[in-house]
């Protein structure tokens, strides 16, 4: 941890800049919105009192 605490501000700034550039290139806003939507749907399913009976339609067909 000492490596990051003493005089490595330039390296930290470079890491942050590179990470931001990567995120702006790879992560699209639509993908993040879809991820959050699916996360909320799954959370609602897990918290539902009838969760043992809940499934996707395809799960019941197979």
CA 49 to chain centre: 26
Q: Which of 6-10, 30-34, 50-54, 55-59 has the lowest mean pLDDT?
A: 55-59
Please say if the pLDDT value at position 37 is more than 90.
Answer: yes
Domain boundaries, the chain: 2-51
pLDDT, residue 50, reads 76
**Contact by Cβ (8 Å): 12, 4:** yes
pTM: 0.47
Q: Who has greater pLDDT, 45 or 61?
A: 45
Q: Is the dihedral of CA 52, 55, 57, 62 positive or negative?
A: negative
Q: Who has greater pLDDT, 50 or 4?
A: 50
Give the CA angle between residues 11, 12, 14 to the nearest 5°.
65
């Amino acid at each position: 941890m000492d490596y990051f605490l003493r005089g490595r501000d330039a390296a930290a700034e470079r890491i942050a800049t590179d990470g931001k550039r990567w995120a702006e290139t790879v992560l699209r806003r639509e993908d993040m919105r879809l991820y959050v939507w699916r996360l909320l749907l799954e959370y609602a399913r897990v918290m539902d009192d009838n969760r043992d009976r809940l499934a996707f339609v395809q799960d019941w067909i197979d």
